[in-house]
Amino acid sequence: MNNMLKTTVLLGALTGIILLFGDLLGGSRGVEMAFIIAAAMNFFSYWFSDKIVLRAYGAQELGPTDAPELYSIVNELAAAAQIPMPRLYLIDSDTPNAFATGRNPNHAAVAVTRGIMRVCNRNELKGVLGHELSHVINRDILTSSIAATLAGAVMMIASWARWAAIFGIGGRDEDERGGALGLLLMAILAPIAATLVQLAISRTREYQADASGARLVHNPMYLASALQKLESANERMPLDASPATAHLFIVNPLSGEGMMRLFSTHPPIEERIRRLERMAAGGAA
């Protein structure tokens, strides 16, 4: 199953959770209200998230003379991808990492930390920046906004369902569905399921950006080498990042082991590198 199909299936799963809630609650009015509120919140996020996240990390815009090599790489890759040159930003952190933001290729920005310029050579930087530009080309910000809207609707409906269960306001045919207890159980489990599906969408988009970025720079090993360095550095010195924006970065800026890996926005680095190595050997990513 290719990454686009996986994303479609996962978005369908989120929609299915909402429809199930609507059935349990006995009507569509609450579902409609949740969609409206969640859509409004994510509409604002979609249009202004780039400004918000760049300001949150104190990113400073770079011109051609501020970081000539970095600027030339981005300009070269943007031309190869036939998209406008994105705005380029620097985050003053020694932890090597990078992210892309912006609602479409005409309103895109790429941010890198000072650390990544120190740790990565030119080819590795090309691999990283190719990955980030691929997020822009693939319109992953739009995909994540839709996923966030659906997941947000699930969270809101789950909150209403918990109160409905507490006060004994069940859905239709309560005896058949388990009444308030069934509604309460769904209200507890559905947000967990929605979160896992949303994270799975994020991980799927990372694999897609790895593959398309590798094709853009014509060498999957550029990114594979960079990922190895970035993962090692972030484990030693995690970036001071917000969990709300962790999914934007090329490697997970947050530390976590065991069960936390289940809730990671990023696929395992080992698997990402393995896929890139397979690409380099002539196999499919």
Distant-in-sequence, close-in-space partners of 41: CB < 8 Å, separation ≥ 6: 149, 152
Q: Which residue type sits at 192?
A: I
Tokens matching residue 58: 């104190």
pLDDT at 163: 73
Give every residue of the chain whose pLDDT is below 50, as ranges.
172-177, 258-259
| pLDDT score for 185 | 74
Residues paired with residue 60 on neighbouring β-strands, in sequence order: 90
Look at the block and give the residue holding tokens 């996020």. Answer: 45
Can you give the pLDDT at residue 259? Answer: 46
How many Å separate Cα 242 from the centre of its chain? 13
DSSP-assigned beta bridge partners for residue 249: 99
87-91: strand order across its sheet: 60-62, 87-91, 109-113, 98-101
**Contact status, residue 264 vs residue 251, Cβ threshold 8 Å:** no
Joined together, the tokens standing for residue 46 give 């979609």
3-state SS, the chain, equals CCHHHHHHHHHHHHHHHHHHHHHHHCCCHHHHHHHHHHHHHHHHHHHHHHHHHHHHCCCEEECCCCCHHHHHHHHHHHHHHCCCCCEEEEECCCCCCEEEECCCHHHCEEEEEHHHHHHCCHHHHHHHHHHHHHHHHCCHHHHHHHHHHHHHHHHHHHHHHHHHHHCCCCCCCHHHHCHHHHHHHHHHHHHHHHHHHHHHHHHHHHHHHHHHHHHHHCCHHHHHHHHHHHHHHHHHCCCCCCCCCHHHECCCCCCCCHHHHHHCCCCCHHHHHHHHHHHHCCCCC
Maximum separation of any 2 CA atoms in the chain, in Å: 71
Q: How far apart are CA 70 and CA 78, in angstroms?
A: 12
Sequence letter at residue 55: R
- The neighbouring-strand residues paired with 99 are 111, 249
Catalytic residues: 132
pLDDT number for residue 40: 75
Q: What is the pLDDT of residues 96-127, one digit of tens each?
A: 999 999 888 999 999 999 999 999 999 999 99
Cα angle vertex 234, ends 72, 250, to 5°? 45
pLDDT of residue 180: 63
Residue pair 60/117 in contact by the 8 Å Cβ criterion: no
Does the global pTM surpass 0.75?
Answer: yes
Helix 179-217 / helix 122-137 crossing angle, nearest 10 deg: 130
